[in-house]
Amino acid sequence: MTEEEIRELAIRLNDKVNAPLIGETTEEKILIKVVLKVDTFLYDNIPNEIYDLARSLDKRIDESEATRLINRLSILANEKIDIPYIPESAEYVAIRFVIGVIINAARKEWNFDMAKDAPESELVTA
């Protein structure tokens, strides 16, 4: 992900997750780190061929595969990633949201910009 994509995703994530006892500017910086942690986890734990589907123009996944990947990767990431500065329930929401956007970007007729800007009702979730 580019720096701009990470920042934009952190801004969207800020609408879903509240880090207690800190201001909005600090919270945005924390959420940028959360997005980076999840992106790094995906890069380290899935084959490049799957990770690169979010950028591919010719190869895409269908909704059922997206649902399966989001579910499995969210559970695995939540086991491996610890974000001590937000509550556990918010941690899972954050992880699942970031993974959801990246995997939705790999769906047929979707791309990263569509996935990050889409209302939650249009995103495939598990």
List, as one string, the DSSP characters of 49-92.
HHHGGGT-SS--B-HHHHHHHHHHHHHHHHHH---TTS-HHHHH
pLDDT of residue 60: 83
The region of weakest confidence among 20-29, 85-94, 98-107 is 20-29
State pLDDT tens for residues 54-81.
777 678 888 999 999 999 999 999 999 9
User: Residue 20 — very low, low, confident or very high, per pLDDT cuts 50/70/90?
Assistant: low
Question: What is the count of structural domains for the chain?
Answer: 1
CB count, 10 Å around CB of 11? Answer: 14
For 105, the domain range is 3-122
- Portion of the chain with pLDDT greater than 70, in percent: 94
What gap in Å lies between CA 110 and CA 16, rounded to an integer?
A: 22
Q: Mean pLDDT throughout 85-94? A: 85
Does the pLDDT at position 37 exceed 90?
A: yes
